[in-house]
Homo-oligomer: A and B are copies of this chain.
């Protein structure tokens, strides 16, 4: 378990006191704070890692949700996989930067370089919003690569957020591996293909939701995500998670339809959120609906705590 147990962490990195200060600052200003986790985790197969197991996730849901939480007045800690999608910037991720720039004409050197606003739709509006969020200090990015980095950073962030009680929300959208190879079972060097076919034996990752809900941030409003490929087992899995971890909400979704359909499941309720064809065409995002559903539920949750 050495590789996966956050309590085995040696050094606490410089970012943690920053998270604490962030939570304190916004909490005492009466602002709610959401920790969003986003992107997949990397699970090394060798100590000197050449190969790793990964989870499919571009980080789209986490990054777009961050924007809607910011629009709703939340401060956001964005715990994301290195190079996964980032709020606002995500809108231009399919564009090659150099295809969107133009050298000012008529000036040999030292000319300006201009953005081709056709190549980056809505860039002026998006840039203004990004700069406003940044200037107000409302978005704190924290990066992970591996599963074990993720686990350590989640624990630290959870403890930082516990200081603001029920004003804290956890929105656990990252695609976290269920399996890992303990350090003591991992080969040091690159696995040689000349040794023949590969057998990999992986252990279960301890579920972090239990200690998060029980110990690290017991007053917080906690949402986990459940992604399945088989729709027939989706709700049962969601209910089982709520029973096991005793948190507030599961957002359940199926791989193929995740951008237009989710079910928000609590112990007593289940609400389907669906985008119509017309909404899809108008580029409405399902995260807008998810976030507005959850911010409302968070308000009710907070009012019950007082």
Interface residue? A51 (CB, 8 A): yes
Q: How many copies does the complex hold?
A: 2
Q: How far is the CA of A52 from the CA of B177 in the complex (A)?
A: 11
Interface residue? A175 (CB, 8 A): yes
Please report the total number of A residues contacting B with Cβ < 8 Å. Answer: 60
Contact B199 A201 (CB under 8 A): yes
For A267, what are the chain B residues with a Cβ–Cβ distance below 8 Å? Answer: none
Q: How far is the CA of A229 from the CA of B229 in the complex (A)?
A: 36
Instruction: Give the distance to chain B from A108, nearest Cβ to Cβ, in Å.
Output: 10
For A45, what are the chain B residues with a Cβ–Cβ distance below 8 Å? Answer: 53
Partner of A50, one of B112, B197, B255: B255
Contact B199 A204 (CB under 8 A): no
Contact B128 A103 (CB under 8 A): yes
Contact B109 A124 (CB under 8 A): yes
Interface residue? A203 (CB, 8 A): yes
Q: How far is the CA of A256 from the CA of B50 in the complex (A)?
A: 11
Given contacts A53-B52, A197-B204, contact A113 B123 (CB under 8 A): yes
Q: Which residues of A are at the interface with B, using a C-beta cutoff of 8 A?
A: 42, 45-46, 48-56, 83, 86, 88-89, 92, 96-98, 101, 103, 109, 111-115, 117, 123-124, 126-128, 130-131, 175, 177-179, 188-191, 193, 196-204, 227-230, 255-256
Nearest first, the 7 A-B pairs at minimum CB distance are A178-B193, A48-B229, A113-B115, A200-B200, A198-B202, A189-B230, A179-B198
